[in-house]
Amino acid sequence: MNTATKVQSQGLQLAQKKAMDIKEIFFHGLFLCCAMVGVLSVSTIGWFVFNEGLPAFKEAGVTEFVTGKEWLPPALYGILPMIVASMISTAGAVIIGVPIAILTAVFLAEIAPKWLADLVRPAVELLAGIPSVVYGFFGLVIIVPAIETIFNIPAGNTILAGIIVLAIMILPTVITISETSIRALPSVYKEGALALGASHIYSIFKVLIPAAKSGIFTGVALGVARAIGETMAIIMVMGNAPAMPGSLLEPARTLTANIAMEMSYATGIHSSALYATGIVLLVFIVLLNGSLLYLNRKRAY
Amino acid sequence: MFKFTQSNSLVSRQNQDKLLHGAIWAAAGITILFLLWVVWHILSNGLSHVSWEFITGAYTRIGEASGIWAMIVSTVYMVLLSLAFAAPIGIMTAIYLTEYAKPGSKFVQVIRFCTESLAGIPSIVYGLFGMTFFVTTLGLGFSILSGALTLAMLILPVIIRTTEEALMAVPMSYREGGYALGSSKIYTIWRLILPSALPGIVTSVILSTGRVIGESAPVFLTAGMVTQIPDSVLDSGRTLTVHLYKLTQELFTQHEWDQAYATATILIVLVLALNLATKVIATRLNKSS
């Protein structure tokens, strides 16, 4: 072989390598650009929500906005009734839903025979997939009339109805994550407890649940996030009156409902006030995620 | 005396065990009861009103012949369009995170943090944002396109996370084998890694289809509620969930009740079908590995 062809073939190889490199660089860049879309989305949403919400804060004052009891656009912008309604309905849903969910998770992970667990688990997954308007519709036709009959009141569209619907809606989230975290525990935990003479139930409540605590907390936090963020089901069953609720048997409007009900016709400061409502909602979510992060970090050390 | 208390506490502990055991069964029973109740109540009242005419008919506010074809078309448009935006971007982001980025680097942490934040934003805030940004600022109006862009942002985290898990489940030896045979990185990803992660990727797409069908608040704020069959993606359209919501605002005649139940039935059947599809793929996946 003479030198000329050798050099030529080397050059060809180099050219091929270069073409491949360009292709590699192109795809690397493409994937990188896609990865930036998520970052861009969050920053755009954040920027928009704060930018649009600030005029309302300036106009009404942050303290007055958050502690004001009257919502009468375009005159008064106070969202305390909505904050209270969101907190009560979420807390109520957690109080009712979380114990049921954790016990159901224990049932699936520890108590149920395999065939039964294999039947119940897909059912719970189905519960997670049902659209929230369907839950709202169910609440409207079953729970609202039931409250009217039981408490003998003219309208069953109350916080209580919202609490019950939300309690059902957070079940699948809390169950699935709690079950996974109980199942993920090393088997020696249970074996050890049983070997020490503890009964199965005793080892579940004194060993397994405490050990799976951080996972269960994560499930509960996600359930709380779902309850705070839920909009349509709440609008359909809670009556939506923007006044401070006096009891569980009164109508109320949550932060999310406030946005959804008025956004389609709001303009100017009114629209800005709805963005400010969104900021308050986001603050709740950030606090929730922050506390979760704190709890999980504490456990890791 | 001591013996007595001891045996006494032993008995009470047994009772306690029985009590807790009962509570666990009761809780599981309540969960199942509620599920069966919701599904049964909707299906038993709705199935008899689901007919071919109802599914393919045009919507009229008055009169007996009222169908949901326009809402089905709008829903299908919404699913296809939001997936067309979110699926490629989500899958490629997952590829970047698992195959290209240095694991644990600052940059990866930033992307992860943003994806998680995106997943945590309540859907109504997406609606708020979509209405100002896509509908007004970009001038897309109340349209399927505005709705699909908003929902694409909403389902992006689902697609990224599920695809990432699928990609990470592909054994390292596949990659090593590919490189050992002299394949380029992109060729290895395209020919070896993506095909074996395909069931997981399909699952992520089905999961987000469920999300798109189920959402309502961000949809009516960006896509509107017009009951016409949309001619193009720039037309407004009413999805099935928004339709059910609107129906519940005006439940006066028996006919309107029947329509609401029938629409809810269609939604539950869709969710069942999607669940079933995920199950079938999961079983296939288990068989192949």
Chain B contact set for A23 (CB, 8 A): 184, 186
Q: In the numeric block, which tokens belong to residue A148?
A: 């009217």
pLDDT of A31 over the 60 cut: yes
Structure tokens at B46: 């709705």
Query: Phi and psi at residue A252, in whole multiples of 5°?
Result: -155, 165
Top-confidence range, A222-231, B58-67, B189-198: A222-231
* Distance set, CA B78 to CA B52, B70, B119, B204, B209 (Å): 22, 12, 20, 17, 9
What are residue A76's phi and psi, to 5 degrees? -120, 135
Q: How far apart are CA A24 and CA A19, in angstroms?
A: 9
**Phi/psi at A239 (nearest 5 deg)?**
85, -30
Alpha-carbon gap: B146 to the closest alpha carbon of chain A (Å) = 14
For tokens 């629209």, what's the residue?
A271
- Is B143 an interface residue toward A (CB < 8 Å)? no
Rounded CA gap, A221 and A294, in Å?
12
Examine the pLDDT at B80 and tell me if it is beyond 50: yes
How far apart CA A204 and CA A216 sit, in angstroms, is 14
pLDDT at site A301: 45
Question: Cα(B113)–Cα(A126) distance, rounded to whole angstroms?
Answer: 29
Q: Is pLDDT at B142 greater than 90 in this prediction?
A: yes
Q: CA–CA distance from B249 to each of A51, A133, A218, B66, B256 (Å)?
A: 33, 12, 36, 17, 10
Q: Which residue has the higher pLDDT, A72 or A84?
A: A84
In this complex, is the C-beta atom of A47 within 8 Å of any C-beta atom belonging to chain B?
no
**Residue A13: predicted pLDDT:** 67
Mean pLDDT of A181-204: 87
Higher pLDDT, B250 or A53: A53
Mean pLDDT of chain B: 88
State CA A45 to chain mean position distance: 18
Residue B230 preceded by cis peptide, ω within 30: no
Question: H or E stretch including A72?
Answer: strand A71-72
Name the minimum distance, in Å, from the CA of A190 to any CA of chain B.
16
> Best interface-test mutation with A: which of B129, B189, B191 has the largest number of A CBs within 10 A?
B129
Number of residues in chain B = 289
Tell me, what's the pLDDT at B3?
Answer: 39
Mean pLDDT to the nearest integer, B115-123 = 91
Q: What is the pLDDT of residue B249?
A: 86
Burial (CB count <10 Å: 0-12, 13-18, 19+), residue A129 = buried
> Which pLDDT value is given to residue B6?
45
Eight-class DSSP state of B243: H
Out of A10-19, A30-39, A223-232, B125-134, pick the least confident.
Answer: A10-19
**Count of beta carbons in the 10 Å neighbourhood of residue A67:** 12
CB contact under 8 A, B111 and A35: yes
pLDDT of B9: 57
Crossing angle between the packed helical segments B254-288 and B240-248, to the nearest 10 degrees: 150
Question: What is the amino acid identity at position A52?
Answer: E
A-proximal residues of B, 160-189, CB under 8 Å: 160, 184-186
For A110, the token pair is 């520890």
Residue A49: list chain B partners with CB under 8 A.
125, 128-129
CB A93 within 8 A of CB A227: yes
Distance CA B103, CA B63 (A): 62
- Please answer yes or no on whether A140 and B248 come within 8 Å at the CB atom: yes
User: Mean of the pLDDT values across residues B201-216?
Assistant: 93
Check B17 against A35: CB less than 8 A apart: no
Q: In chain B, whose CA is at the least distance from the CA of A107? A: B24
Q: Which of B31, B122, B37 is nearest to A96 (CA)?
A: B31
pLDDT, mean of residues B180-192: 86
Of the candidates A232, A166, A44, the residue with the CA atom closest to the CA atom of residue B117: A44
- The secondary structure element, H or E, covering residue A71 is strand A71-72
The span from the CA of B60 to the CA of B62, in Å, is 6
* Gap between the Cα atoms of A13 and B198, Å rounded: 34
Mutation target among A24, A130, A287 for the B interface, most CBs of B within 10 A: A130
Closest CA to A160 of A72, A96, A228: A96
C-alpha distance across the termini of chain B, in Å? 63
> How many A×B Cβ pairs under 8 Å?
237
pLDDT given at position B5: 42
Q: Using N-to-C axis directions, what is the helix angle for B2-46 and A159-183, rounded to 10°?
A: 120
Give the least confident one: A63-72, A133-142, A171-180: A63-72
d(CA B144, CA B148): 6
Q: What is the ipTM of this complex?
A: 0.90
Q: What is the mean pLDDT of residues A188-212?
A: 87
Task: Tell whether A275 is within 8 A of chain B (Cβ).
Answer: yes
Whether A16 shows a pLDDT value over 70: the answer reads no
Mean pLDDT across B52-81 = 85
- Say how far apart CA A248 and CA B272 lie, in whole Å: 34
How many whole angstroms separate alpha carbon A207 and alpha carbon A277?
42
* Closest residue by Cα to residue A256 from B157, B264, B126, B141: B126
CA distance B35 to B33: 5
Residue B108, pLDDT score: 87
pLDDT band at B91 (very low <50, low <70, confident <90, very high): very high
Distance CA A273, CA A54 (A): 8
B121 in contact with chain A, both atoms CB, cutoff 8 A:
yes
**% residues pLDDT > 90 (chain B):** 52
Mean pLDDT of all residues in chain A? 89
Q: Decide if pLDDT at A223 tops 60.
A: yes
Distance CA A102, CA A171 (A): 9
CA dist., res. B112 & res. A152, Å (int): 51
- Chain A hits for B115, Cβ within 8 Å: 38
How does pLDDT run across A125-167, given as a tens digit for each residue? Answer: 888 899 999 999 999 999 999 999 999 998 889 999 999 999 9
CA dihedral in degrees (B199, B86, A39, A31; nearest 10)?
Answer: 60
Query: Do residue B38 and residue A41 have CB atoms under 8 angstroms apart?
Result: no
Backbone angles phi, psi at A77, to 5 degrees: -125, 90
Beta carbons of B153 and B134 less than 8 angstroms apart:
no
Write down the residue that tokens 């199935």 correspond to.
B47
Interhelix angle A80-106/B2-46, rounded to 10 degrees, is 110
DSSP result, B8-51:
HHHHHHHHHHHHHHHHHHHHHHHHHHHHHHHHHHHHHHHGGG--
Q: What gap in Å lies between CA A126 and CA B246, rounded to an integer?
A: 24
